[in-house]
């Protein structure tokens, strides 16, 4: 059995928190360095499919997540066109004989609150307002100098700093975020009691989604293709969002009409990162968005970040650090590349512009194509996971 290690994690986002919990649960001495001065989280919501919820079960927080979030009954996703005409309904798969719901929406701040409480329970210290200024490796140890001047020695450094990671380059990785060609608008609203489905409206070039995130809240997310826009002042976000989706009627309309100066709105130009293997250099490994940020069309980035943490702890329990890091990358990179590719295709399908393309897509969706796409994606994901868990995976 490999020995307990001292492990430093840079970044306390979803990937960093999940890795901290999984590694502390496995008996390692873990500490986290977070650049933000205050540990507060841009909110709006996030949806987590059954595979992500399974990781949260492994991290010991699933009951708290189920209490705080909203599990969509029967994993229903109702599709409409831009005018609000119904197109089709699909169902996502649940896991563990239905004990793990197919899809759950939750406020991001709640997800982080629950992960941070679990870290506290496990005694994981988090240093805020600090980042890594210098990094050197010698004799199986990583020496770090922090931005506050403090020096640290650690057996293993996990870089979980998101897509704009700075430590990644310090460790010798050469990768940069790439604009995906899409922007996303998100907003939070009161949830009408009857709105319990995940809803997707397929427009001309644009998609607009609605997702319950608690007993009384939902969030919306609308994607727009196009070149990276110039700076849009934050005060203008609600009105700009309403304008971007002005042509949408049906389920979206009430929430677009609800947008006003005090609305909780977020605007993001979506970027991707695709770090080629190996994901480690000696005793330093990159996880989460810093290695594999995807477009959000599959809603799988958070799940992938959590799966990284769980997989990293599993590999370190089986082998010495460097072979374990190599096996970790070999397991996770093909899955993350598959998710990125699937997400890109869904984005392109949602960005169709001509009447003929839109009519053909909608006919395919109505004819069972939308459910087939869900089934194929999750069957493939399960196949990847099964292979990774088999004893002969190297």
Q: Residue 34 interacts with ligand FAD (CB under 6 A)?
A: yes
Q: Residue 299 interacts with ligand FAD (CB under 6 A)?
A: yes
Number of Cβ within 10 Å of residue 291's Cβ equals: 29
Which residues inside 166-205 make contact with ligand FAD, applying CB under 6 A?
A: 166-167, 184
Residue listed under structure tokens 């001309």: 204
DSSP assignment string, 5-54: -EEEEE--SHHHHHHHHHHHHTT-EEEEE-SSSS-----SEEEEEHHHHH
Separation of alpha carbons 141 and 138, rounded Å: 5
- Segment near ligand FAD (CB under 6 A); pick from 158-166, 235-243, 249-257, 363-371: 158-166
One residue of 13, 69, 203, 350 binding ligand FAD per CB under 6 A: 13
- Min dist. Cβ of residue 177 to ligand FAD (A): 11
- Segment near ligand FAD (CB under 6 A); pick from 11-19, 61-69, 150-158, 325-333: 11-19
Q: Among residues 35 and 118, whose Cβ is nearest to ligand FAD?
A: 35
One residue of 35, 107, 198, 207 binding ligand FAD per CB under 6 A: 35
Q: How many residues are recorded in the chain? A: 394
Question: Cβ neighbours of residue 375 under 8 Å, at least 6 residues apart?
Answer: 93
Per-residue binding string, ligand FAD, 313-332, x by CB under 6 A, is --------------------
The 8-class DSSP code of residue 95 comes to B
Q: Copy the structure tokens of residue 10.
A: 């840079």
Q: Residue 301 interacts with ligand FAD (CB under 6 A)?
A: yes
Is the bond preceding 278 in cis, omega lying within 30 degrees of 0?
A: yes
Separation of alpha carbons 300 and 322, rounded Å: 27
3-state SS class at 202: strand
Which residues inside 52-81 make contact with ligand FAD, applying CB under 6 A?
A: 52
One residue of 5, 7, 12, 65 binding ligand FAD per CB under 6 A: 12
Q: Residue 160 interacts with ligand FAD (CB under 6 A)?
A: yes
User: Which residues of this chain interact with ligand FAD, rule CB under 6 A?
Assistant: 10-16, 33-36, 46-48, 52, 131, 160-162, 165-167, 184, 268, 270, 288-290, 296, 299-303, 305
């Amino acid at each position: 059995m490999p020995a307990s290690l001292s492990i430093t994690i840079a970044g306390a986002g979803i990937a960093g928190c999940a890795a901290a919990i999984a590694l502390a649960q496995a008996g390692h001495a873990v500490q986290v360095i977070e650049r933000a001065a205050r540990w507060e989280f841009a909110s709006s919501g996030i949806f987590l499919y059954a595979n992500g919820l399974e990781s949260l079960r492994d991290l010991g927080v699933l009951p708290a997540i189920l209490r705080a979030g909203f599990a969509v009954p029967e994993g229903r996703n109702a599709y409409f066109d831009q005018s609000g005409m119904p197109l089709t309904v699909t169902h996502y798969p649940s896991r563990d004989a239905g004990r793990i719901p197919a899809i759950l929406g939750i406020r991001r701040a709640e997800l982080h609150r629950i992960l941070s409480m679990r870290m506290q329970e496990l005694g994981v210290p988090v240093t805020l307002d600090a980042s890594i200024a210098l990094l050197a490796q010698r004799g199986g140890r990583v020496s770090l100098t922090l931005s506050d001047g403090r020096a640290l020695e650690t057996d293993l450094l996990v870089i979980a700093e998101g897509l704009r990671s700075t430590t990644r380059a310090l460790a010798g990785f050469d990768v940069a975020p790439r604009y995906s060609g899409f922007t996303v608008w998100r907003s939070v609203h009161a949830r009408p009691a009857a709105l319990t489905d995940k809803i997707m409206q397929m427009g001309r070039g644009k998609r607009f989604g609605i997702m319950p995130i608690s007993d009384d809240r939902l969030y919306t997310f609308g994607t727009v293709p196009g070149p990276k826009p110039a700076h849009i002042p934050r005060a203008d976000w609600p009105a700009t969002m309403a304008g971007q989706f002005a042509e949408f009627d049906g389920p979206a309309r009430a929430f677009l009409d609800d947008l006003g100066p005090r609305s909780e709105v977020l605007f993001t130009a979506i970027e991707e990162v695709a770090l080629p293997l190996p994901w480690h250099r000696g005793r330093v490994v990159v996880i989460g968005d810093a290695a594999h940020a995807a477009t959000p069309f599959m809603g799988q980035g958070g799940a992938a970040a959590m799966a990284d943490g769980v997989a990293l702890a599993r590999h370190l329990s089986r082998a010495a650090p460097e072979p374990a890091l190599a096996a970790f990358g070999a397991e996770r990179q093909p899955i993350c590349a598959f998710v990125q590719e699937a997400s890109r295709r869904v984005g392109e399908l949602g960005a169709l512009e001509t009447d003929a393309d839109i009519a053909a897509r909608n006919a395919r969706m109505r004819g069972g194509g939308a459910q087939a796409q869900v089934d194929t994606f999750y069957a493939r994901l399960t196949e990847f996971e099964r292979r990774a868990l088999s004893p002969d995976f190297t």
